[in-house]
Structure 1
Amino acid sequence: MEKITRKHPIRGIRTLVPGVVLSVLVSGLAVVAEWLEVRLTGGAWIEALVLAILVGAVVRLFLRRSEGFDPGIAFSAKYFLEIAIVLLGASVSAAAIRGMGLPLVGAIAVVVAAVLIASYGIGRGLGLSRRVALLVACGNSICGNSAIAATAPVIRADAEDVASSIAFTAVLGMVTVVLLPALVPLLGLSATGYGVMAGMTVYAVPQVLAATAPVSALSIQIGTFVKLVRVLMLGPVVFVLSLVSGTAGGRRPALHLMVPWFILGFLAMLFARSFGLIEAGLAETMGKAATVLTILSMAALGLGIDVRRVLRAGPRVTVAVVLSLGLLVAASYAMVLLLNLATA
């Protein structure tokens, strides 16, 4: 009995190895591809952070038997990212965030609520069921797959509803990461304004890092902070949905799903850096470690995107997600203008 107990953790680790190794290889290919870009063109037109997602998605298409890789891919996408976010908190400019203050946090809450309601209306108007419309609205307005996963048990959505909603938010999120930086010259956005807009429009935290990395370090910091505030909106939204769905037997998810530990860790690092508890040299090292872990997590994120599932999700879900994303981009830009951050 004792031998079985000892071996069990090792067997669990072994199941992770194929996916983790594949994620490392994909991230390595992304870094090499960026290096080749610099050598051939003199600059990195597509950063390794974005290339990791793209390469991962392509590799996933050719994986005949992906089940053996899935545990390690899921582990890499989740835990490498969460650790990276905590480390990133040490390099965030608290002064820049204080300069925007409570008006920014209030604006984020208003935009999230307004877009959620409008996205739900779009889905229902296109004939989607109440559950699918809610999943698309929550995923679009808050944090993509995480919001869908947290909302699904509350509204008693089935596996098919969740799969169709997640398929499009995953692929469309990847497209948004690639195209969003083009808005900087098109709209004349400052690093701060673009960081706010990226944090408001991109679905997942790693995608925010990928979308802001080509612009500036300040955009990364502001974008990450805005995105994490946006993620915190998941708690109140899920709580309200649980009250509304209570009579229908919906289940309220655990508190740690609504307020993830890495957000608390990020804020702790931010405050520690602000009060001088983390030296500049250490903060720089932590920032580099965060970059490495983020590339690894985004390689895993790409490996987790199955483009084939998108083709099975249906045209109405496609239109609902695209229209909702367009609405979110427009609302986010209006928010940037109202806060006078476009050219700050």
Structure 2
Amino acid sequence: MPDSRSLPAPGHGRSGPRIARLVPGLLTAAAAVAAAFLVHGLLPALPAMTLAVVLGVLAANLPGAGTWTGGRARPGLDFAGKHLMRGGIVLLGLKVSVMDVLGLGWVSLVLMVGVVAASFGGTYAISRLFRLPPVTSLLVATGFSICGASAIGAMAAVRRIRHAETVLPVALVTLCGTLAIGVLPLLAQPLGLTATVFGAWTGASVHDVGQVVATAQTAGTAALAVAVVVKLTRVLLLAPVAALAGAHHRNGVRALGAEDGVVKKMPPLVPLFVLGFVAMVALRSTGWLSAGWLDVGATLQDILLGAALFGLGSAVRIRTLLHTGGPALLAALASWLLIAVLGLAAAFLIAG
């Protein structure tokens, strides 16, 4: 009979310590998400997801808080930034209705595909011009051209990019998306934009869904309605872009294996969470879900993405960013300007 002293106590097997290590960080992320929602409720112009990133950055750089987020809370915050992000991406699909997207018309759909392709290629080229690493350039291009931090998380998972390398791209896409909230409404009147054109411009050029809503609502409900549909058309392109990136990565792994004479384990062509996103889009498009269930899904998605973004933000050290992020910031601002110009041109054609 085995000695009872050698047996693990109930609840303290291998998985027990691992889960216990995650608890401090996950509780911290939950508190931060609650704070972000509270501030958003008081100041609706500030998107909750943007606030989550900002709170994460503050937590990483304030005395005392930085020790906590970089110490005991780090495992749970890293878990949130990686795994809760994927859950949020799946639920993001519940916001996309294929019927609404098709309602834009084929010309508008072709235009949006062109804008995303040009934004992706142009942003990647600008990033490389400023000597950013290929991985950083890829993530920045993905986030800026599709749907912000969610797209960065999806691309990182598909290409097996380390969690730490997503921190700078998320910070840049959040900064530029926040910049758009303040700048685009100021340009509407000087440019003589109608509400419809402004809404289409916002949807075609602002990164995160929450930032699109915050920007477009300044011009009224008509602008907001157009902005959301145009933006969700870009979000829908997340699935094919992720699939193409996955196929390219598999080919690279296969080629390396052939050179080394070793059979390497192949990554999935399309990760499960991307398939989950597509499934949620299909479910939303059937019209079977009531408004109540869609509201529940949207709330849960915000909670998961908010926790993930806080986790990513809590890894940003401002001192390090200032020392090493100058070229990255210039590249991001140049990319933001490019996408704003491309989006404005498309908006005139969509709403014209």
Q: Does structure 1 residue 96 correspond to structure 2 residue 100?
A: yes
* Offset of residue 225 of structure 1: 4.6
1:165-176 pair list within 5 angstroms:
166=166, 168-176=168-176
Is the 2:94–2:297 contact (alpha carbons within 8 Å) kept by the matching residues of 1? yes
SS at match of 2:67: coil
302, 323, 327: which one aligns with 1:312: 323
Residue identity in the other structure for 1:294:
L
* CA distance in structure 2 between the partners assigned to 1:231 and 1:304 by the alignment: 27
Is there any run of 5+ residues in structure 1 with no aligned partner, and where? 154-158, 203-207
Q: Which moved more, 1:283-292 or 1:234-243?
A: 234-243
Specify every segment of 5 or more residues in structure 2 that has no aligned partner in the other structure, as ranges: 1-5, 144-151, 218-223
SS in 2 for 1:45: coil
Letter in 2 for 1:58: L
Q: Within 2, Cα distance between the matches of 1:281 and 1:145?
A: 28
Residues 1:185 and 1:260: Cα distance change in structure 2 (over 3 Å): farther
Q: Cα distance 1:253–1:185, how it changes in 2: closer, same or farther (>3 A)?
A: farther
- Partners of 2:266 and 2:337 in 1: how far apart? 29
How far apart in 2 are the matches of 1:220 and 1:64?
A: 39
- Within 2, Cα distance between the matches of 1:125 and 1:90? 37
Q: Distance in 2 between matches of 1:93 and 1:149?
A: 24
1:265 paired residue among 276, 282, 302: 276
Match of 2:67 among 48, 59, 64: 64
Same amino acid, percent of matched pairs: 19
Q: Could you say if the C-alpha distance between residues 293 and 222 of structure 1 is closer, same or farther in structure 2, counting changes exceeding 3 Å?
A: farther
> Residues 123 and 320 of structure 1 are in contact (CA less than 8 Å); yes or no, is this contact kept in structure 2?
yes
| Residues 315, 242 of structure 1: alpha-carbon distance in 2 compared, 3 angstrom cutoff | farther
Cα distance in 2 for residues equivalent to 1:101 and 1:255: 33
TM-fit CA distance, 1:24: 1.2
Residues 238-271 of structure 1 show CA distances to partners (whole Å, capped at 9, x for unaligned) of 6457768957979997235xx3433322332232
1:82-161 paired onto structure 2 within 5 Å: 82-100=86-104, 103=107, 106-123=110-127, 125-126=129-130, 128=131, 132-143=132-143, 144=152, 147=155
Give the deviation of 1:13 after TM superposition.
Answer: 0.7
**Counterpart position of 2:231:** 223
1:70-81 equivalence runs, <5 A: 70-81=74-85
Cα distance in 2, alignment partners of residues 184 and 282 from structure 1: 33
**2:16 corresponds to:** 10
- Matched-pair contact (CA < 8 Å) for 1:171–1:307: no
* Number of the residue aligned with 2:179: 179
Q: Check whether the contact 1:145–1:169 (CA below 8 A) recurs between aligned residues.
A: no
Distance in 1, Cα, partners of 2:78 & 2:12: 24
With structure 2 as the length reference, what TM-score do the two structures score? 0.71
Pair 1:234–1:137, CA change in 2 (3 A): farther
Cα offsets for 1:103-162 (capped at 9, x unmatched): 555445544444444445445555x3xxx4533432232134654676587xxxxx9xx9
State the distance in 2 between where 1:299 and 1:134 align.
Answer: 25
TM-score (norm 1): 0.72
Structure 1 residue 72 displacement after superposition: 0.9
- Structure 2 distance, partners of 1:149, 1:313, is 25
Matched residue, 2:336: 325
| Deviating more after overlay: 168-177 vs 6-15 | 168-177
> What is the CA–CA distance in structure 2 between the aligned matches of 1:91 and 1:8, rounded to whole Å?
38
Give, in whole Å, the separation in 1 of the partners of 2:293 and 2:309.
24
1 CA distance for matches of 2:107 and 2:319? 42
* Cα RMSD after superposing both structures: 3.8
3-state DSSP of counterpart to 1:7 = coil
When residues 61 and 243 of structure 1 are mapped into structure 2, their CA distance, relative to the original with a 3 A threshold, is same
The answer to whether 1:21 aligns with 2:31 is no
Report if the CA contact (8 A) 2:101-2:232 is conserved.
no
Q: Which sits farther off after the overlay, 245-254 or 170-179?
A: 245-254
- Read off the aligned partner of 1:186 and give its amino acid letter: L
Distance 1:268 1:14, change over 3 A: same
Q: Does 1:49 align with 2:57?
A: no
Q: Distance in 2 between matches of 1:282 and 1:152?
A: 33
Q: Whole-Å Cα distance in 2 between the matches of residues 110 and 325 of structure 1?
A: 17
Is the aligned partner of 1:30 residue 2:36?
yes
